[in-house]
Chain A
């Protein structure tokens, strides 16, 4: 099955700085990589995802990069704001699925943006 490792477990940055969270995966056949943001006490929400036919995807201040050769993908947040403070999870699919998207999640990164 898929093994997903996420680093760092905690990240503290100053408002306006950039934040980068990295994940590695084990199954070279994996082809879909979502990122979720979970604010305290709330549900995880999808913020961006990337498929293996592209190397980078951007959505305003958020970007995700994918290196299939090295089997890692990263979340980049630029011009961080206090409301970016949350736990971020990466995920990768289990490819023995014939349908659906059972995802293996990383352990999460607690991002704190200091004003």
Chain B
């Protein structure tokens, strides 16, 4: 069976500091990978998605970037955090072949920028 790991679970960072959130998937090959952000407990906003190693698509212009150095590893980064980057960040995966594949979310990282 497939599992998704995301860490850390919580993070408090000062404004202007860097960020690195990591997500790994086990039990499947060539998954599609996603980063979502959720503010105020509602609304899932897609930030990035990837259909393969080194292939990253950005949904919205922002202070964040993503990388996929390995098939089942997805990293969300920032060089300098803003207050507005606070939120609940969720990594997710789906099967890479075809459509109609549900998303499976990690446990999320609650980021507070102070």
User: Which residue of chain A lies nearest to B6 when distances are taken between CB atoms in the complex?
Assistant: A43
B-side interface residues toward A, CB under 8 Å? 32, 34, 41-44, 46, 49, 51, 90, 94, 96-108, 110
Interface residues on A, range: 20 to 34
Hey, which bits of chain A sit against chain B, CB under 8 A? 31-32, 34, 40-46, 49, 51, 87, 89, 91, 93, 95, 97, 99-103, 105, 107-108, 110
- Beyond A44-B90, A99-B32, whether A105 also contacts B44 by CB under 8 A is yes
Q: Known contacts A31-B100, A99-B98, A108-B42: does B105 contact A43 (CB below 8 Å)?
A: yes
Decide: B100 and A100 in contact? CB cutoff 8 A. no
Bound: A40/B46 CA distance, A: 20
Q: Which residue of B lies closest to A49 (CB)?
A: B102
CB pair B49–A102 under 8 Å, yes or no, is yes
Contact A32 B104 (CB under 8 A): no
The reply to whether A44 and B105 contact each other, CB–CB distance below 8 Å, is: yes
Verify B94–A100 contact, CB threshold 8 A: yes
Q: Shortest Cβ distance from B88 into chain A, in angstroms?
A: 8
Q: Are B102 and A34 in contact (CB under 8 A)?
A: yes
